[in-house]
Structure 1
Amino acid sequence: MTARQPGTARLHIAAALALAASLLVAQLARADAAPASASTARLAALAEDVTAADGHRYDVRDHTGRTMDAAQIEQAQDGRYLAVYHTLLADGRFHAAVATSTDLRHWQRRHDFGPGTHQASLAHDGRGGYVLAVEKDPRNHIAVRAYEDVAALLTGRARHSFDAPLTLSRCAEGTPSITAVRGATVHLTGHYRAGCDTDRQLTATLTGFRHWHAEPDRRLDRAVRSRGNSGNIGDRAPVELGGRRVVLVEGQGRRGDFGSWATYAYDPPSGRADRLDIRTHGGSRAFANPSATLLTGPRGAPALLMSVFVPREGAAPGESGQLLYWRGLGT
């Protein structure tokens, strides 16, 4: 009996440490249950329940039947909705395109930006024109184009163009999101293939359509990885709610598992990412390529529009593909 007492004592100590660890985890979970900010809480209230939306459409396609994957929506000054998106076509290449709509449900494709373009992002330039950024192959890189007005955008007549060099990865940099356009300066985010192995986040600035600077965004990477994501960290897009910017970002729980993609609301001041519990009509469980837009909804009231891609690996029957849904800001 005496010879076994040290082992018994070690067991008691181990049990006590395990209990303390579990209590600490529980305390952290309870502390983390509160939203990172009032803006992330507002976003969750508006975006998590697709069944409560004012309108929605699963498997969004343009008038020719092309899938509108990774669609991002803007609203033109004349009230029309503009969507930039990509489709994998029979030539084996992705094609980015722009389409217009008056009701967010039916879309007419207006221009194809050509083979090897995908992951498109569109922004107003504040002067009546638009800036478009896409990921372009071969040698996947970020390409930026400026258009004088909506007519030029819809016919593909770019006024300025720039193809960014690969500076953070020799393999790939892409999935751009335009965060601001200030005069001749375009601010973007994107991803780079870290070590030619895993997608990680970057921020970039393009000045005068001549000078490019990119650097890693390790703070955003840490926030998404802290949620248990060991795979890629990809698309992201900002939206401002309550005077505070929130960044929607996708994280992959397990590398190579498309059914493990989830969408997070990242709060830049606190550096925290809260997972959005998106609930669809059928119970889909994977959501990627998120973006959000504040616009005037089809009924004439201010609304938040959400755009997410539902991978077939995590989709309920009839829900795979691009999902658009919107909800009035007064609800």
Structure 2
Amino acid sequence: MILTPRLVLYAALAALVAFLPDAGPVLAQPSAAARFTRLAGDVREADGHLYDARDDTGRTMDAAQIVQPPSGPYLAVYHTTLGDGRFHAAIAISTDLRTWHRRHDFGPGTSQPSLAAEDSGPEDSGGDDSGDWVLAYEKDPDNHLELRSYPGLADLLAGRRERAFDAPRTLSRCAEGTPDITSAHGTTVELTGHYRARCDTDRQLTAVLHGFRAWRTRPDQRLDHAVRACGPRGNIGDRTFLRLAGQDLVLIEGQLRPDDFGSWRLYGYDPRLGRAEPVAVRTHRGSHAFANPSATTITAPDGRRALLVSVFVPREGAAPGEAGELLYWRDL
């Protein structure tokens, strides 16, 4: 055999590899959705849980979002269908995540509320007790997004708003809603939501409000395509942003079949890769439908850092005793 320069190089590389230590198989880093499922996919392993969450007036706490200020009680914003047949958004406080005391009703036709402190982002949703708070919700009739600011926690709990903005519908002539505030810095609020595409199916949007005057929206087709690739053919609706173990995750609801509330499922979307994957949730009795996800890190009542998850369990996909809002948390 004639040793050409290329063969000599290959031989040298082979000899070098032979002397390298065996590092074993290279393990791929688990996705953020897989991390979430491993940590919070089984409610039976949670350190605390509450099915069919209700406030002290007996109101259901549907689509609840929990926020923890640096001091004081936990805050929950949520909605309930009352005797007038309309949604009413409300805010309640708790010291143990189980007993909730309602403090204010934001009026008829308000639903799917989202709350954030100004000068906060996804990792700092609690903000300063004395600082401004921003609330967004879906308003009917003429389903559209509304935003309100409050100059302090006491004003928020009393419903004394400082600024208000009623957003025009820009992507759908039928409905826009399910807001999730992702950032509130100064007078700029960034949020996500849904719009009723062709007045037929819910799809995703992002929006920015500047100075409580200038409003800009755009479709989030990348997120829509990623969730649809997992199988949903119905609505793609409410979502929440979470940073878990240094990875960004959007936890989002998707409906496998149109008009089938028992087919709501959860998906984890990686905004960096543009991919989504199913997120399995196991409950004590085997509910299979989950919607309106919300998740955040908190200091649990026992003083430990924890991941708190809230999801709505539609009765069409609920096991006995598990329908309604489910809150649960797992120590980190």
1:310/1:322 contact within 8 Å kept: yes
Alignment of 1:165-244 (within 5 A): 165-244=168-247
5+ residue gaps in structure 2? 1-26, 120-127
| DSSP 3-state at the match of 2:85 | coil
Alignment of 1:280-291 (within 5 A): 280-291=283-294
C-alpha distance in 2 between matches for 1:120 and 1:178:
9
Which residue matches 1:25?
none
Which residue matches 1:299?
302
2:270/2:276 contact within 8 Å kept: yes
| DSSP 3-state at the match of 2:224 | helix
Q: Determine if the alignment matches structure 1 residue 161 to structure 2 residue 154.
A: no
> What is the TM-score normalised by the length of structure 1?
0.87
Alignment of 1:21-60 (within 5 A): 37-60=30-53
C-alpha distance in 2 between matches for 1:35 and 1:295:
29
Which residue matches 1:3?
none
Which residue matches 1:69?
62
2:137/2:145 contact within 8 Å kept: yes
Shift, 1:129, TM fit: 2.2
Aligned residue-pair number: 296
C-alpha distance in 1 between matches for 2:152 and 2:286:
41
Which residue matches 1:246?
249
1:35/1:274 contact within 8 Å kept: no
Q: Determine if the alignment matches structure 1 residue 82 to structure 2 residue 85.
A: no
Which residue matches 2:24?
none
C-alpha distance in 1 between matches for 2:98 and 2:29:
33
| DSSP 3-state at the match of 1:59 | coil
C-alpha distance in 1 between matches for 2:250 and 2:150:
26
| Matched residue type, 1:105 | R
C-alpha distance in 2 between matches for 1:252 and 1:299:
36
C-alpha distance in 1 between matches for 2:30 and 2:234:
26
Cα pair distance change 1:37/1:192, threshold 3 Å: farther
| DSSP 3-state at the match of 1:295 | strand
Which residue matches 1:111?
104
C-alpha distance in 2 between matches for 1:156 and 1:296:
26
1:91-141 Cα offsets, whole Å, 9 max, x none, are 011000000000000100000000000000011113522110000011100
RMSD over aligned CA atoms reads 1.3
The match for 1:321 among 313, 324, 328 is 324
C-alpha distance in 2 between matches for 1:299 and 1:280:
23
1:222-245 Cα offsets, whole Å, 9 max, x none, are 011011100000000101112222
1:56-109 Cα offsets, whole Å, 9 max, x none, are 000000000000000000002214110000000000110000000000001000
C-alpha distance in 1 between matches for 2:179 and 2:198:
19
Structure with the higher helix share, 1 or 2: 1
Cα pair distance change 1:81/1:160, threshold 3 Å: same
